Chains A and B, each alone.
Chain A
Amino acid sequence: MSVVFALATPPAKSAICVYRVSGNGCLDGLEGLFGHQDFSPRMFHLADMKNGEQLVDRVGLIVFKGPNSYTGEDSFEVYAHGSLGVMSLVSDAFINSGFSEASPGEFTKRAFLNNKISLNEAESLSDLIDSTSSSEVFLSGSSLFGDLSGRLAEYSDRVNSIRMRVEAEIDFSDEDEDFMDDELFFDLCKVKEDFESFVSLCANKRDVSQKKNILLVGPTNSGKSSIFNRLVGYERAIVTNQPGTTRDMISSEAFFEKSVFSISDTAGMRKTDDVVEEKGIEMSLSHISEVDLVLGVFENYEKNIMSFLKKTCKSNKFISVQNKTDINEADVKRYDCCVSAKTGDGFKELRQKISNCFSVSDTRNEIGFMVRDRHVKIFVSVTENLEQAIQGLSNKKTLELVAEDLKNARSELDELIGKKFSDSLLGDIFSSFCIGK
């Protein structure tokens, strides 16, 4: 197959970017790109990458000889510096070597075609298969995270037991049986309610995997930028002991407590004549309502600003932080958290507190489920179907439509689990009710 390359890391400024190249014959291009050197496979090599005569970057290089590679073909990976400029130079160099840019899913597709990955491993394989619905369910019951599939099966059964009664009422209405008692309606409402809280667990986890926005605010020169740098893990913001150093808002990602946060540093709050800084302060205030969490950073207690922040944050979560405990005494009564950005004291606690703001409120400590968008879509549809069924039952809408809603809800759940729609319905009716003349 032809030689293709792709950027394996996000196309954004970062410390390192990784390129993957795969295709038989790609190793022939190594000499032109990296010069004459012995690039023995599966070893990390340092090399100067060139585009013709022009130096692109000093990079790291690992060569994989097929079939012992991700795709099963000959391939190599390049670790370059993560600037956008370098990225475009690397791409140019590859194109000049006769490589072409990979289409989405291309590497996985090749890996699959070369028997390197099984179906269950190949998440992105849905691109390969142009059919929809049940054929998209690659995950059989066992591989769908075990427990999740068990939970879905439980809901499927509960929906089915209600549908069973509705169907019995339709197919055996001339029988001498009370298939649908008042409890049925409440059972159905309960199923929906439980399902929704189950879904919220899934969604929570999903949200966690999405970035949470945190805003640092507070009086000027309280050390917001130092705290920012510590949380982010490296120097992003310029820190001086001059008040008003940070004029624009700076944002960066931080990863701790198993979650990704987007943290923004803002200009300090004070009366200022500086127009640029004033704009910055306005901006930071306007952001308060949009973020998920506000950290109010103080060196000295300033009552006005504190109460202003508490009031402004309203429903937004707010943590008050005392900085510079290395030079001042920690005031645990007034602040939620006391830290020293200089020494790092109290940061463990701060990270924990931040994380706690986003953890599942449910104290039963239930395991959330990592689900994909596809699942969420189906969850929403199941909930809608259940809601329609409830409406139908309460409006005395035609019962066959209620049955249809329940059937749809169930078959969607079954589709997720990968179970074949079973014909147990009639069997369930016969074993539960005395039917027949």
Chain B
Amino acid sequence: MYKFDVIVIGGGHAGAEAAFSIDRAGLSCALITIDQSKVGQMSCNPAIGGLGKSHIVREIDAMGGLMAIATDMSGIQYRTLNTRKGDAVQALRVQCDRDLYKKAVQKILNKTSIEIIGDEVVDLIIEKNSVQGVITKTNRYLCKKTILTTGTFLNGKMYTGKDVIRGGRAGEQPSIPLSEKLYGLKLPMGRLKTGTPARIKLSSIDTSKMEDQPGDVPTPWMSISNPPKQHQIQLSCFITRTNKKTHEIIKNNIHLSAMYSGEIKGIGPRYCPSIEDKIYKFQNKDSHQIFIEPEGIKKNLVYPNGISTSLPKEAQAEFISSIKGMENSEITEYGYAVEYDFVDPRSLEKTLQLNSLNNLYLAGQINGTTGYEEAAAQGLIAGINASNNIKKQDDFVLDRSESYIGVMIDDLTSHGITEPYRMFTSRAEHRLLLSQNNAQQRLLMKARKIGMVDKETETKFLENEKEYKSFVEQTLKKTKTNSFINKKNTKIKLNENKSLYKLLSRNDVEEKRLFKTNQTNEKHYQRAITEVKYAGYIAKQLREINKTKKQNNKKIPENINYKDISGLSNEVREKLINNKPKTIGGANQIEGITPAALNLILIHIKKSELLKENA
């Protein structure tokens, strides 16, 4: 009866990852997208990873996803950020060749049994409050689950000065019939905006006037589980700056900017402001950095990160030419602001299924997030849950304490968003547990259990773990010494022999000189150092996690009458009555519920129990 188990609508990062996970689960899947050639397209800047985001990419990688591998197949500059800080907050950022990345994604998907269909979905088949399939311009497909990953297509509008074009991405048509269908479902919606800078010909800028930023040597890999054999040719990025003249030009034209003329009502991301915003809000700064990212190895194009704008074309050209090294810029495409609707993610379950309509999952920018990594992660989770549900397996929900993906989905579904959501390490309260380097330790076996990771990767992982364990137990714990070199290069004598492992916990030990590593044990040694350094903090975090879990799991009796609890404000009471939380944890997640209110509930429960006992 069903043509496919799952249909994924949209071929962006969420769609690709969703389809790929369904295929790994051994189910049949179709990916329907208007333009097949655009599958895996990077629509913003050509980089994957970065602070808070590489963590997500590594988590996807640990669960068998494709993003890290595609990144490595197309990476043209690798740079580790936060190197002077600890392991938990270090992040790898990779500049990709935009075309190679897309090709890599398509190559990976083409090796699977996913059917990629170039068509436009115009309608959903809905029966008894359940999505049963999709209708395209040319066909009709029944399926058990549908995953919608359509990005910014909902009522998308692009602004360049006073020009307004309907659409979600330059040169692409928005899907109007499907968006009308979604509006018909009366889902709670909000409006967001984002922007892009102009694209400039590499040959027209003078990079010799700019600061050169080469990548890491040796070149690392994004994928831990399955990197390709060879890196692409590595390139540099460049740094230049705006100046007083640039700011003057922008100030003189700011009234023409779509964002300042009152045309745009959506809320933009504060961490990704337009150049107009930066100059208007931080008037004391007379210069802003611009990061010149190459678009590809053979591409005569750069992405000037830092000057996204919705000024009219002439003004864009004028201010760009005032920047050092960009005086003769040839602009191939002008910057614009995009405004689009999103579905309030609070209308989703943690599986990313809509709670008001069965068998329909939403993933990616449609849920109010921004970033390829955030989108891909949602695609993966939606895909896994759709598959698990078909196979009658448990929901796959990651905890906040075990992954950034868990943090993101919990944030989205519990609190909703007020601006495009992107990941920051500070969003994760258990950040120290979540390093980009321990994603496999956290998630691989979990993903293996549901078939997301193959046997070979599992074996490789387990061998590595065994090797690490033996390195710690046999080498670090058994090698003892009665002296070490401290950070000030002085030899410190100890009263008794101590193991290297024990010595690592001292703040003054110069780790590099305590133990001479070789190629095989270098990564193990680094891991052990981190493990020892974080030990106290991690123990504390684990205690906290257990404590919260215990409290959060406390059940709220179904027959609780919130009107009986004195001390609750009317607002809080109403929210509790409407939301009917099943546990204290559930109540805690309702916006506006204070710890004081939680305590009143806890005490009320305890009181009822005591009264029952004493009756």
Contact = CB atoms under 8 A, between A and B. Distances in A.
Interface in A389-437: 395, 397-401, 403-404, 407-408, 415, 418-420, 423, 425-427, 430, 434-437
Contacts of A426: 270-271, 424, 426-427
A89 B593 CA distance: 52
A171 B603 contact: no
A128 B290 CA distance: 60
A176 B540 CA distance: 34
Contacts of B610: 109, 113, 128
A176 to B, nearest CB: 4
B566 A170 contact: no
A404 B537 contact: yes
B425 interface: yes
B518 interface: no
Interface in B558-615: 566-567, 594-596, 598-600, 602-603, 606-607, 610-611, 614
Given A171-B424, A400-B89, A418-B596, A125 B603 contact: yes
B231 interface: no
B556 interface: no
Contacts of A170: 51, 82, 85, 89, 425-426
Contact of A420 (B84, B554, B594, B606): B594
A8 to B, nearest CB: 22
B537 A135 contact: no
A434 B93 contact: no
B527 interface: no
A119 interface: yes
B81 interface: yes
B313 interface: no
Given A129-B606, A170-B85, A434 B288 contact: yes
Contacts of A137: 595-596, 599
Contacts of A379: none
Most B CB within 10 A of own CB, among A135, A138, A170, A423? A170
Interface string A96-118: 00000000000001001100001
Interface string A125-139: 100111111110110
A174 B432 contact: no
B596 A140 contact: yes
B86 A436 contact: no
Contacts of A435: 270-271, 273
Nearest to B290: A437
Given A118-B566, A131-B551, A140-B596, A398 B85 contact: yes
A246 to B, nearest CB: 54
B347 to A, nearest CB: 21
Given A400-B89, A434-B281, A173 B600 contact: no
B50 interface: yes
B464 interface: no
B127 to A, nearest CB: 40
B537 A401 contact: yes
Contacts of B534: 401
Given A172-B51, A418-B594, A119 B599 contact: yes
B278 A436 contact: yes
Given A119-B599, A134-B595, A170-B89, A436 B611 contact: no
Contacts of A134: 595, 598-599
Contacts of B566: 118
Given A172-B51, A418-B594, A401 B272 contact: no
A405 to B, nearest CB: 9
Nearest to B87: A398
B547 A132 contact: yes
A167 interface: yes
Contacts of A403: 426
A434 B271 CA distance: 8
Interface residues of B, number: 62
A1 interface: yes
Interface string B512-550: 000000000000000000000110010010000001001
A119 B603 contact: yes
Contacts of B614: 1, 113
Contact of A436 (B87, B241, B273, B540): B273
A224 B429 CA distance: 63
Given A129-B603, A418-B594, A174 B85 contact: no
Interface residues of A, number: 49
A409 to B, nearest CB: 13
Nearest to A122: B603
A434 B600 CA distance: 42
Contact of A399 (B85, B269, B550, B607): B85
Contacts of A130: 606
B602 A135 contact: yes
A399 B85 CA distance: 6
Nearest to A398: B86
B52 interface: yes
B81 A174 contact: yes
B51 A173 contact: yes
A264 to B, nearest CB: 45
Interface string A44-87: 00000000000000000000000000000000000000000000
B329 to A, nearest CB: 17
Nearest to A173: B82
Contacts of A404: 431-432, 537
Contact of B52 (A171, A415, A418, A434): A171
B492 to A, nearest CB: 16
B270 A135 contact: no
Interface string B407-440: 0000000010000000011110101100000000
B257 interface: no
B507 interface: yes
B112 interface: no
Of A113, A132, A427, the most chain B CB neighbours within 10 A belong to A113
Interface in B324-350: none
A437 B309 CA distance: 11
Nearest to A176: B289
Contacts of A395: 507
A420 B537 contact: no
B493 to A, nearest CB: 22
Contact of B432 (A140, A176, A400, A420): A400
A113 B611 contact: yes
Interface in B433-450: none
Interface string B133-145: 0000000000000
B306 interface: yes
Most buried by A among B85, B88, B290, B606: B85
Contacts of B598: 134-135
A399 B89 CA distance: 9
B404 interface: no
Contacts of B599: 119, 129, 134-135, 137-138
B603 A174 contact: no
B51 A174 contact: yes
Nearest to B270: A430
Interface of B: 45, 50-52, 81-82, 84-89, 93, 241, 269-273, 278, 281-282, 285, 288-291, 305-306, 308, 415, 424-427, 429, 431-432, 507, 533-534, 537, 540, 547, 550-551, 554, 566-567, 594-596, 598-600, 602-603, 606-607, 610-611, 614
Q: Which 4 A-B pairs have the closest CB atoms?
A: A398-B86, A176-B289, A430-B270, A437-B306
17 contacts: A118-B567, A119-B599, A119-B600, A129-B602, A133-B547, A135-B551, A140-B596, A170-B85, A172-B51, A172-B271, A173-B81, A174-B93, A399-B89, A401-B534, A436-B270, A436-B278, A437-B306
Given A131-B602, A173-B82, A436-B269, 10 more contacts: A119-B600, A137-B599, A138-B599, A173-B85, A174-B51, A174-B81, A404-B432, A418-B594, A420-B594, A435-B271
Interface of A: 1, 109, 112-113, 118-119, 125, 128-135, 137-138, 140, 167, 170-176, 395, 397-401, 403-404, 407-408, 415, 418-420, 423, 425-427, 430, 434-437
